[in-house]
Amino acid sequence: MKEKERNLVFLKESLTSSLFTSKKQWNSVESIKSDISALYKMKLAASRKYPDGSEELKLSKELDVKIKNNNKLIYRSMRESFSEIARKEMWIDNIEVRIIGSNQDELLLAGHYFSDNANKLDTYQILEPHMKSLGFKRVNFKMFWGDDGTTFKIDSPNDSELE
């Protein structure tokens, strides 16, 4: 298959990706990472230079618009799924997980495990790379829900800038 044909197939498949069809749910961190990678490849394909007037150029512009229009919803859905995955994984350690914020970009973790500052830091260091790639802005560790807790700010790009 020639490069032009491969480009056309990829662009057409990207335009019909399940990432754009509905509010998707993920059931593992690996599946979220896989879709982040797929979205990144779509962004690269949409930003490539194609010959003027070509079908590739038309489809790449259409894909670029589709990505820009859906990026915020996609990453918000990924964060919601990530928090549900964390909730299921952490309940065994008696840690409650919630997600808040208008963009669902703050993760709250509460449990007696977080009475020790070293546990807060260890957990933050494990979660931070995932949270950054998903566009979380903060994570808050509390010993119990009435506690002020400890908040770590995460320097992550806005949803529209995530790759």
Task: Say yes or no: 18 and 76 in one domain.
Answer: yes
The pLDDT of residue 1 is: 63
Task: Say yes or no: 65 and 88 in one domain.
Answer: no
Task: Say yes or no: 70 and 17 in one domain.
Answer: yes
Task: Say yes or no: 61 and 91 in one domain.
Answer: no
Residue 160 pLDDT level (bands cut at 50, 70, 90): confident
Torsion sign across C-alpha atoms 61, 63, 66, 72: negative
Tokens representing 22 are 């509905």
Considering the entire predicted model, what is its pTM?
Answer: 0.87
Range of the domain at 117: 83-161
Alpha carbon distance 46, 66 (integer Å): 10
CA dist list (Å): 20 to 26, 83, 118, 127, 157: 14, 21, 40, 27, 21
Task: Say yes or no: 74 and 96 in one domain.
Answer: no
Task: Say yes or no: 69 and 107 in one domain.
Answer: no
Task: Say yes or no: 67 and 123 in one domain.
Answer: no
The yes-or-no verdict on residue 159 having pLDDT over 90 is no
Over residues 61-80, the pLDDT tens digits come to 999 999 998 988 899 999 99
Task: Say yes or no: 56 and 112 in one domain.
Answer: no
Averaged pLDDT of the chain: 91
Task: Say yes or no: 9 and 70 in one domain.
Answer: yes
How many contiguous H segments (helices) and E segments (strands) does the chain have? 5, 4
Question: Mean pLDDT across the stretch 86-96?
Answer: 94
Alpha carbon distance 156, 163 (integer Å): 11
Query: What percent of the chain clears pLDDT 70, i.e. is strictly above it?
Result: 98
Over residues 20-34, the pLDDT tens digits come to 876 788 999 999 999
Query: What percent of the chain clears pLDDT 90, i.e. is strictly above it?
Result: 74
Task: Say yes or no: 101 and 77 in one domain.
Answer: no
The pLDDT of residue 45 is: 93
Task: Say yes or no: 66 and 109 in one domain.
Answer: no
Asked if residues 141 and 123 have their Cβ atoms less than 8 Å apart, the reply is: yes
Domain count within the chain: 2
The pLDDT of residue 163 is: 63
| CA angle, 126 then 81 then 11, to 5° | 105
Task: Say yes or no: 156 and 87 in one domain.
Answer: yes
Alpha carbon distance 92, 61 (integer Å): 47
The last residue of one of the domains, among 52, 81, 110, is: 81
Tokens representing 79 are 């964060």
The last residue of one of the domains, among 81, 106, 123, is: 81
The pLDDT of residue 158 is: 84
The last residue of one of the domains, among 81, 100, 133, is: 81
